Amino acid sequence: MAVHAHPDDESSKGAATMAKYVAEGVDVLVVTCTGGERGSVLNPKLDRPDVWANIAEIRRAEMDAARAILGIEQAWLGFVDSGLPEGDPLPPLPEGCFALQDVEVAAGPLVRLMREFRPHVVTTYDEEGGYPHPDHIMCHKISVAAFDAAGDAERYPELGAPWQPLKLYYDIGFSKGKILALHEAVVATGVESPYAEWLTRWEDRPDKGPRITTRVPCAEYFPVRDDALRAHATQVDPDGFWFQVPMELQQRAWPTEDFELVRSSVDTPMPESDLFAGVRGTGHAR
């Protein structure tokens, strides 16, 4: 089970890993917390009034397309996108949005899904949300709360029989080592690197690379990841940053997707190369 804040997050964070496990016969469920109603239109070709007028329906259709490409199951929690506040000072979040929900209440629908789907492994964002979008931070909060509550018969007794997932991971989408490796690989070809400015900004940011416990080899599924990401056509520019680096270079320079194991009730040696390390053999992997 991979818990994400908005439609498109599942395709930009851990998508190749999911595609790999689907190909191996693993049941994969993406849980999407919000409908992405307040997301930006980042593809200039689709920045049109008719798109903005139907953004909620369009984003659902994009999610349908990405789901089919990845071969996953997908469920909506039904919360309303909080938007990304901008300005100084920041404006208040919209009334009723996901980020303003009570964590214990908002975790309930996710507890129900965990008890119904019965995953062995859950992935989500770290305490900063991967990046500080209020919906990503809230996604982290309810994911941890639901993981801890799903196996407790005394908590949410009305939401089904208890089920305790065995492992909880945070997605570490970008580390300084990864960006540096990609940057150096691009520079070696004699082409200007799209990562140069990113590395400059990184000087003032903590590096999450040391937190990585698990590197999943999944380079052969990077094209599937990119196809799924392009399916979210309002959210990505097909001529933009994400698609500037040749695929074979990406596969060679950094052939894994990376995670931090933060909860585990099974023994597993570190570092890992498999989210199901210690789990396989206990039953059908989920």
On the CB side of 216, CA atoms within 13 Å amount to 26
Q: Closest by alpha carbon to 21, among 166, 220, 168?
A: 220
Can you say which residues are annotated as belonging to the binding site for Zn(2+)? 6, 9, 136
Please tell me whether residue 76 adopts helix, strand or coil conformation.
Answer: strand
- Quick check: 33 and 5 in contact, CB under 8 A? yes
Backbone phi and psi for residue 28, each to the nearest 5 degrees, phi listed first: -125, 125
Please tell me whether residue 30 adopts helix, strand or coil conformation.
Answer: strand
- Type and span of the H or E element at 33: strand 29-34
Please tell me whether residue 78 adopts helix, strand or coil conformation.
Answer: strand
Q: Whats the size of the chain, residue-wise?
A: 286
* Token pair listed for 100: 């303003």
